[in-house]
């Protein structure tokens, strides 16, 4: 028995959406909210598949969608995240507010793939060392101190800002506590560092927690890393939260190798 199609294909419009269809869908969702995609075409009077409606809304009509002109900082972040995550476009998109997975995927395929391949000729589409969010295990995270000013941060440098306002001892303590409390199997441990120490660094084992868990974790929030990104914005646009290329949170190759180590 095959899988039932998501909707009957007969009598449905296909291809590019018209302005009228866009308006109908927008009006309907603004009135009734997102969700229930399968029922939207019928209720809104659209001759479209529910999936198609969802895609159109999420990738094009949604009000907070930022279109076009992917900045240098965004491009930089996409490359870095792709290096970490591979083709996990939705995860990458989550770190780029206003950008959709489809847009990032297209941008990668049309612009960045060539660029990255050119820089790293031996790379395949899915770079070695990407974090597979399900199959791979992340066993440790190491946060290194900020490099000296004159030292240019590389793709392999993970940076945490020095300013106490962004990351103070309380936050670090809270981060450790919150992340540990999220570990229900006791697999996680973390040494709380002294951030005033000149060789401040944090290293902790995170057991079976995935990359997704890290991004969504209280730890990430407690470390105020999203604010760190905002502080680093270089575009001058207050809606553009993205930092300059030397201010990103990155993971060293060593860490990545450790994460993907098959145990």
Q: Where along the sequence are the contacts to DNA (CB under 7 A)?
A: 1, 3-6, 9, 13-17, 35-39, 48-52, 54-56, 59-60, 67-68, 87-91, 101-103, 105-107, 109-111, 134
3-state SS assignment for residue 80? helix
Q: Which residues pair with 189 in a beta bridge?
A: 205
Nearer Cβ to DNA, position 37 or 251? 37
First to last CA, the chain: 38
Q: What's the closest the beta carbon of residue 153 comes to DNA, in angstroms?
A: 27
User: How far is residue 78 from each of residues 97, 204, 247, measured CA to CA in Å?
Assistant: 12, 26, 14
Q: How far is the CB of 178 from DNA (least distance, A)?
A: 21
Nearer to DNA, 91 or 175 (CB): 91
Q: How far is the CB of 91 from DNA (least distance, A)?
A: 6
Compute the least distance from the CB of residue 249 to DNA, in Å.
20
- Give me Rg for the CA atoms of the chain: 21
243 three-state secondary structure = strand
Query: What DSSP assignment string belongs to 51-111?
Result: HHHHHHIIIIISTT---S---HHHHHHHHHHHHHHSS-HHHHHHTSTT--HHHHHHHIIII
Side-chain half-sphere CA neighbours of 194 within 13 A: 4
Q: Which is nearer to DNA, 109 or 239 (CB)?
A: 109
Tokens 């820089």 correspond to what residue?
119
Residue 227 beta carbon to DNA: minimum distance, rounded to whole angstroms: 24
């Amino acid at each position: 028995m095959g899988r039932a199609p998501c909707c009957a294909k007969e009598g449905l419009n296909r291809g590019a959406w018209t302005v009228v269809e866009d308006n109908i869908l927008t009006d309907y969702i603004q009135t009734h909210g997102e969700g229930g995609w399968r029922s939207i075409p019928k209720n809104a009077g659209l001759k479209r598949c529910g999936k198609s409606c969802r895609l159109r809304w999420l990738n094009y009509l949604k009000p907070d969608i930022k279109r076009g002109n992917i900045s240098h900082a965004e491009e930089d972040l996409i490359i870095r995240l792709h290096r970490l995550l591979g083709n996990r476009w939705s995860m990458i998109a989550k770190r780029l507010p206003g950008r959709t997975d489809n847009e990032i995927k297209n941008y990668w395929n049309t612009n960045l793939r060539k660029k990255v391949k050119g820089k790293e000729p031996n790379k395949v589409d899915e770079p070695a060392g990407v974090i597979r969010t399900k199959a791979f295990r992340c066993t440790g995270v190491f946060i290194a101190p900020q490099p000296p000013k004159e030292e240019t941060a590389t793709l392999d440098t993970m940076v945490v800002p020095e300013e106490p306002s962004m990351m103070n001892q309380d936050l670090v303590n809270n981060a450790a506590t919150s992340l540990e409390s999220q570990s229900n199997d006791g697999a996680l441990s973390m040494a709380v560092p002294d951030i005033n120490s000149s060789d401040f660094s944090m290293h902790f084992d995170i057991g079976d927690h995935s990359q997704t868990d890290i991004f969504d974790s209280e730890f990430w929030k407690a470390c105020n890393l999203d604010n760190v990104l905002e502080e680093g914005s270089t575009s001058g646009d207050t809606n553009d939260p993205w930092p300059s290329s030397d201010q990103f949170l990155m993971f060293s190759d060593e860490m990545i190798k450790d994460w993907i180590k098959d145990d």
